[in-house]
Structure 1
């Protein structure tokens, strides 16, 4: 029969302490490399910018065409009538434009600009009245054929506003029409820009060529 020498309690205690320390070390080592990664992730999340959403109608002068300089809130899209609403929806479109871009021109100037802008749009789209602006449309027999039929052309809404200067203005028009292919589309947008010139004390708004 084989006998084994009695083990010292001190040796058992030392061995237990060593094993405990080894376990602690092993548990700690796998977590150390993950700490920097967690911090980096947090920094990335904090520094990520969330792009702001600009509501329709929020435009700045000549940076996003078409559209006049904006000094007020955006057009309320929910207040606009659905496409195809017809004449019944034009009043709502006009009100939305006026609410978004409050008047900033003298009433007389605004009326002159609106009349000119409407005439220019009609001439450009349908060909009617182009002879009034030969500098813009050229000679009638050499002008580009109109792209829209007169019968279903309609200006739905229009506003005239200053364009960053007392002597500059823009007429913003919303309109509907049927093209030569027979396709009808409403809520089209066109801008006409004007500059004011003075001659012998009288001021005139001159339309600028479309680019």
Structure 2
């Protein structure tokens, strides 16, 4: 039996090149149409419009769920009036009148100054209304040397409430007094209002409150 012939190197090289070209051609053939990659949508937060800024109106009325407007919290004149006792109630209602004054004008004077002002103004108002004790303040009452018929009777005269507050300056004050009395005609009226001004002078380190004539 004769031996098989050995392939030449040239033939082997040609076969290798053919196989390489065939493999490359197979790799380049398309394997079906591919769909394009979908583009991701932007996040919802990136395209959502900014919510409108709500500014409540100052004249809103209460809503259906009971939420009240800002102005509904402010006391009305009728509410303030209802906080006061009825006319003619007597001394039993004086505490409510005092509380109403203190609420309307918060304290702004030292306690010793307020006590001094209240004590002086009470005596001043009594002297002014009834004529009793006017000689104590000749600088306030110009008619201290004359006989003056009192405008109000001493009987039934009552100071219902009083507060002392600054009057635009640390050296000026005013006392708000609410009082009741019977005039010469026999008519009783309560919740009368009188304001009495004072000025403060300092001598040798001592402060003194001096009443001024009422305008």
Aligned counterparts of 1:168 and 1:77: Cα–Cα separation in 2 = 30
**Equivalent in the alignment of 2:160:** 156
Q: How does 1:62-101 map to 2 (within 5 A)?
A: 76-101=80-105
Aligned counterparts of 1:155 and 1:142: Cα–Cα separation in 2 = 26
Q: Answer yes or no: is 1:130 the counterpart of 2:134.
A: yes
User: What residue ranges of structure 1 are gaps of 5+ in the alignment?
Assistant: 1-53, 57-74
Q: Deviations over 1:34-81 (max 9, x none)?
A: xxxxxxxxxxxxxxxxxxxx966xxxxxxxxxxxxxxxxxx9222100
Aligned counterparts of 1:139 and 1:175: Cα–Cα separation in 2 = 23
Query: Which of structures 1 and 2 has the bigger CA Rg?
Result: 2
Name the TM-score, length of structure 1 as normaliser: 0.63
- CA-based RMSD: 1.9
Aligned counterparts of 1:168 and 1:93: Cα–Cα separation in 2 = 24
**Equivalent in the alignment of 2:71:** none
Aligned counterparts of 1:147 and 1:130: Cα–Cα separation in 2 = 13
**Equivalent in the alignment of 2:199:** 195
Q: Deviations over 1:87-127 (max 9, x none)?
A: 00000000010111111000000000000110110000011
User: What residue ranges of structure 2 are gaps of 5+ in the alignment?
Assistant: 1-74
Q: Which has the higher helix share?
A: 1
Aligned counterparts of 2:138 and 2:151: Cα–Cα separation in 1 = 18
SS at match of 2:126: helix
Name the TM-score, length of structure 2 as normaliser: 0.62
Q: How many residues align?
A: 141
Aligned counterparts of 1:117 and 1:161: Cα–Cα separation in 2 = 12
Higher relative contact order at CA 8 Å, sep ≥6: structure 1 or structure 2?
1
**Equivalent in the alignment of 1:184:** 188
